[in-house]
Amino acid sequence: MLKTTSVKLVFIILVMLSFTGTSIAIDKVKMLKPLLGFDKRAKHKDEVIIRSLEVTVDEYGPFTFEAVDVDMTPSRALASMKTGSLINIFIAPDSEVWNESTIPIKIPIRQGLLSYRLLLVNKIDLPKYNKVKSFDDLKHLRAGLQNDWITTKIFKKLEMNVITAHNFEGLFLMLNKQRSDYIPRAIYEIYDELNTRKGKLSNVVVEPTLALYLPMFSFVYISPKEQRIASRIKSGLVKLTQTGELKEIFDKYYAKDIIKADLKNRRIIEIKNPYLTDVEEVEH
C-alpha cells in the first residue's frame, strides 16, 4: 500500500551485496506530488512507476522515489524535464513536443482509456445535445480547454470552436457561467473532478448521452539526462505488461468509472487525432 503522508514521498529499496565491497548506483526517480491526496490518477501513476522499479531491482539495483511538492503546468514540467534537476519522470498524453524533447516509453499505461471523453456541460444547455449526432454538429459548440493541452492543439488543428483558459479552475468557472458549452474530460477524470467542485459549480453536470472518441495514449516520459532510468522503466513496464499486472493496476483504479460511464449506451462521436503516433507492442 502506498503512503503519501509526508511532503516528500520517498521510497528506498536497499540491496545488500554479499562478499564484495563493490558500490552500485542508486537510481533516483523524481515525479510531481499530486495536488490532491485522493487523486486516483496520481496514485495510479505512482504505483505503475514504483512497481516498474521494484520488478527491475535484480537487474538494476536499488532506487529512490521522490514526490516533488511543486505545482506545474505541462509546459513548465516539460522545461524541468529537459534538465532533470527537479523532476525526471512525467506521465502525459502522447504529443510531438514531448516525444522530441524527452525519452518516451510508448507503452500505454492507461490502456488507451484517455481516448474516451465525456462532456461536462451547463445543465441549462442539456437539450441542445439531443441534436448533436456528428462531428460537424459538435464543431458548432464551444469547447473549454486549457492553453497548453495536446487536446487543445488537436481541436484547433481540426478547426473546432475552442475557448481557452490559462488555468484549470478557470475552465469550470467559464462553463458554470455559460461562457463555454462543454469541457471534454476522460472517463477516469470527469466524475471526481465534478464531485470535488460540486459546492461551487451548481450548474455543471455530466452530459448523459454522448461520448467522444479521440484516439490518444498516456505514456511515461523520461528526462533525456536519464538514459539508465529510461531503460529501467521500459524494462519494468514490459514485465508488468507480460505478467498482466499493468492491467490489474489499471482496473484497480478505473474499473468503477468505466462501468459508470456506460459507453455502450452513449452516442460515440469520433474525432481524428492528426498527431497520433504508434504504441509499442509488447509480447505476452
Q: What is the pLDDT along the chain (284 residues), one digit of tens a residue?
A: 444 333 344 444 444 333 344 456 899 999 998 765 558 888 999 999 999 999 999 999 999 999 998 888 888 999 999 999 899 999 999 999 999 999 999 999 999 999 999 999 999 999 999 999 999 999 999 999 999 899 999 999 999 999 999 889 999 999 999 999 999 999 999 999 999 898 888 899 999 999 999 999 999 999 999 999 999 999 999 999 999 999 999 999 999 999 999 999 999 999 999 998 888 777 65
Residue 236 shares a structural domain with residue 190:
no
In a domain, residue 143? The reply is yes
- Assigned domain for 68 exists: yes
Answer yes or no: is 273 within a domain. Answer: no
With respect to residue 123, please indicate whether it lies within any of the assigned structural domains. Answer: yes
Name the domain count of the chain.
Answer: 2
In a domain, 161, yes or no: yes
Is there a single domain that holds both residue 206 and residue 130? Answer: yes
Residue 274 belongs to some domain of the structure: no
Q: Quick one: 98 and 120 in the same domain?
A: no
Task: Specify whether 122 is located in the same domain as 197.
Answer: yes
Closest-CA residue to 44 (of 243, 256, 228, 229): 256
* 85 plus 30 within the same structural domain: yes
| 113, 254 Cβ separation under 8 angstroms | yes
Assess whether 207 and 227 both reside in one domain.
no
User: What would the DSSP string read from start to end of 7-36?
Assistant: SSEEEEE--PPTT-------EEEEEEPPSS
Same structural domain, 97 and 73: yes
User: CA 185, CA 5: separation in Å to the nearest integer?
Assistant: 28
Would 277 be classed as within a structural domain? no
| Residues 9 and 67 sit within 8 Å (Cβ to Cβ) | yes
Residue linked to cell 520517498: 10
Distance, CA of 183 to CA of 117 (rounded, Å): 9
Name the DSSP class of 264. G
Q: Considering the entire predicted model, what is its pTM?
A: 0.87
The residue range of the domain holding 245 is 9-110+217-253
Whether 200 and 136 share a structural domain: yes
Cα(272)–Cα(284) distance, integer angstroms: 29
Dihedrals φ, ψ of 134, to 5°? -145, 175
Domain final residue, candidates 213, 244, 275: 213
Residue 211 pairs with which residues in a beta bridge? 268
* Nearby residues of 135 by Cβ (< 8 Å), 6 or more positions away: 269, 270, 271
The label of the residue with cell 535484480 reads 58
Residue 271 located in a structural domain: no
241 and 183, same domain (yes or no): no
User: Do 152 and 234 sit in the same domain of this protein?
Assistant: no
Same domain, 228 and 91: yes
Indicate whether 131 and 69 sit together in one domain: no
Cα separation, 279 vs 112, whole angstroms: 10
The CATH number that applies at residue 189 is: 3.40.190.10
Distant-in-sequence, close-in-space partners of 174: CB < 8 Å, separation ≥ 6? 144, 163, 165, 180
Task: Please tell me the predicted confidence (pLDDT) of residue 116.
Answer: 98
Asked if residue 266 lies in contact with residue 117, where contact means CB atoms within 8 angstroms, the answer is no
